Structure 1
Amino acid sequence: MSTSVAQNENVSAGLGSYLPLFLLFVLAAAFAVFSALLGPLVGPRRYNRAKFEAYECGIEPSPQPVIGGGRVPVAYYLTAMLFILFDIEMVFLYPFAVSADALGFFGLVEIVLFIATLGFAYAYVWRRGGLDWN
């Protein structure tokens, strides 16, 4: 009988450590629902024709087609995607910097391999002309 009581106490103590995480998820969900419901209630209700028109990068939309189609070059999107890609990969260096002492030589080898892979990818993109604005 005493072993089952001890096991129940261990289980409840283990689940209790997840309480802050559960509360964080509840708080995040409550904030999302609160923001979604409150926005239309307190937001401005003055709509005009300009608010319903398309807006692109500060350029005034015109009813006449622009010469050349008015399309944004694909190079712009490629450069933006490459920036995001390399920026996210650089974020992975932060945990290494924080725990570099604890990782020791194994961590050093892993981060050197990561940076080498990142360097090869950067050289490939550079060689293929992905970083040129022309």
Structure 2
Amino acid sequence: MSEGYGVVAAILVLGLGGLIGAFALNRALTITYPTAEKLKTYESGVDPVGEGWAQVHIRYYLYAYLYVIFAVDAIYLFPWAGVFAAVGVSSLIEMFVFLAFVTVGLLYAYRKGVLSWT
């Protein structure tokens, strides 16, 4: 039984050794000449102007949250549709319960005005 743990420990030691070795080799072979121009912030070809602080409206976070909800919905719905014939009617009922929860969430978001662009 302990032989299995020895193999796992050896793999962990070899993996960590390889990782540390790769970082050390990178550090040894890298040539850097830091200058003021190289250390300057650069974004999309435009020199930074003003503060780094910008407020974002909460609505955009809500859109992102709704996208995640429907992406997760699609992740569950499409594979289920592919194997529906094999799993039977009980899975159909479970999927309708799942879709009911998603629909209630969408209706709630609609009634709160989250889905309006104005």
TM-score bin (small chain): 0.5 to 0.7
Alignment of 1:61 onto 2:61: no
Listed one character per residue, the Cα deviations across residues 17-42 of structure 1 (whole Å, up to 9, x for unaligned) are xxxxx9xxx7xxx5xx75xx46x828
* Corresponding residue number in structure 2 for 1:97: 81
Residue 46 of structure 1: CA displacement? Answer: 6.5
Mapped partners of 1:125, 1:59: distance in 2: 38
Alignment of 1:113 onto 2:97: yes
Q: Residue 44 and residue 112 in structure 1: after superposition, are their counterparts in 2 closer, same or farther (change >3 A)?
A: farther
Residue 44 of structure 1: CA displacement? Answer: 8.5
Q: Residue 132 and residue 54 in structure 1: after superposition, are their counterparts in 2 closer, same or farther (change >3 A)?
A: farther
TM-score when normalising by structure 2: 0.59
In structure 1, what residue type is equivalent to 2:90? F
Q: Residue 120 and residue 60 in structure 1: after superposition, are their counterparts in 2 closer, same or farther (change >3 A)?
A: farther
* Corresponding residue number in structure 2 for 1:81: 65
Tell me which of 103, 106, 113 is aligned to 1:122. 106
Aligned residues: 102
Q: Percent identity?
A: 24
Alignment root-mean-square deviation, CA: 4.0
Gaps of 5+ in 2: 1-7
In structure 2, what residue type is equivalent to 1:97? A
Structure 1 counterpart SS, 2:92: helix
Mapped partners of 2:81, 2:45: distance in 1: 40
Gaps of 5+ in 1: 1-21
